Amino acid sequence: MLLENKQVAIIGGGPGGLTLAKVLQLKGVNVKVYERDLTKDVRVQGATLDLHYDSGLKAIENAGLSEAFKKAYRPGAEKGRVVDQYGNIVYDEHINASDKSFDNELFRPEIDRGDLRDILLESLKPDTVVWNCHLVTLSQIGNRWKLEFKNGSMAVADIVIGADGANSKVRSVITSVKPFYADITIFQGNVEDAQIKAPTIHTLLKGGKIYVHSGGKYLHVSAKGDGSIDFYVSIPMHENWVKNSGIDFTDRSQLIAWYQKEFAGWGSIWFELFKNVSLPLLIRPQYCVPLDQTWEAHSTITLLGDAAHIMPPSGEGVNLAMLDALELSECLTSGDFKNVQVAIAAYEKQMQVRGLAEAQASLEMVQWMHGEGAMEKMIQLFSEMPS
């Protein structure tokens, strides 16, 4: 096996990095995951995720974690409601009976990101993940890589995989091609104890999702298993608008003043979100890889997930990352390639084709989701989906 007696370092402990660690360990590979978080419980792990039959769920199955996933996912949480800016329901998936199950290619079961991470973490060998390791520099020493972390520690590895997201440090070693701003910025927040703090929206959610399109804005709200709700609003704006606005989004009074101006003409229901959101609000300008990006495969280093093909949200991000992890592990352990560089090249070829096609689709989605007729387009998409 190409990785026999090799030490593999995965930078980043998100779903993609942890999936890769798991499937490599099943093949007997020595692997460490270096994660910048201080501990596994240091922060809330984002919103909900829906896994797809031929990508995320395929990786879960190959990792031997299907039963654990079935115990943790939230039945019905994938159902959504298209709602107008006043809070009126205009399309409701909850009224449609569904007989989809895990053997149905159209089934997209929903799970909280934190629960998925826990499943993956608990499946790994003890001490696989090294916490508080924020990568600062990596450099080659002979045939190996030296990793230096912000906490002053160091590590050495034979193979490095960058699963470190949109601001990947590993990516800069592999390519100078930089993502470009996708013309939208996302404002993301979480409301704890939603049944008490945001009761109207909690009821409207019905344990699932809400989609609102109005005036060029897109609001997405999702229920979580811990009783909180996650939301984000996507708004077309200049890349540096937030920095140049002079608004302190960590100050609730300034946040509410911005909301009242930005959402003038919307119904009062949405005020529950901004009045009760836990601060600071996350502000995330959205970037996308150039659709013609390419690089020559390296012999001992590669990328997966957002580090390789960052794009605006399309519902595919975590699924692409987990499929990347599965296919990379197969290339590195199959015995079909004469050396690691050839194996990496084979993986990157299919990863790039898949990732760039989805990046194109995500940019097209950005256009229609913020354009005229977006709500009608969303309803049409839901209506065309088999129940």
231 and 273 Cβ atoms separated by less than 8 Å: yes
Distance CA 204, CA 192 (A): 16
Contacts (Cβ under 8 Å, ≥6 apart) of 251: none
Is 306 one of the annotated binding-site residues?
yes
Helix 374-384 vs helix 340-369: crossing angle, to nearest 10: 120
| 36 in a labelled binding site | no
Q: Is 171 annotated as ligand-binding?
A: no
Question: Does 108 carry a binding-site annotation?
Answer: no
Q: Which two tokens stand for residue 123?
A: 């499946």
Q: In this structure, what are the phi and psi dihedrals at residue 82, rounded to the nearest 5 degrees?
A: -85, 125
**Which among 103, 47, 80, 51 is positioned nearest to 385, based on CA atoms?**
80
Please enumerate in sequence order all residues whose Cβ is within 8 A of that of 13, keeping only pairs 6 or more positions apart, or say none: 33, 34, 35, 37, 117, 121, 129, 163
For 249-295, give the secondary structure using H, E and C: CCCHHHHHHHHHHHCCCCCHHHHHHHHHCCCCCEEEEEEECCCCCCC
Q: With the C-alpha atoms ordered 108, 113, 118, 120, is the resulting torsion angle positive or negative?
A: positive
DSSP 83-127: E-TTS-EEEEGGGS-----TTSTT---EEEHHHHHHHHHHHSPTT
d(CA 164, CA 71): 28
Between CA 54 and CA 64 the distance in angstroms is 15
Beta bridge partners of 230: 190, 222
Alpha helices in 7-102 (DSSP H): 15-26, 56-62, 66-72
Known binding residues: 43, 50, 113, 306
Known binding residues for FAD: 50, 113, 306
Known binding residues for NADPH: 43
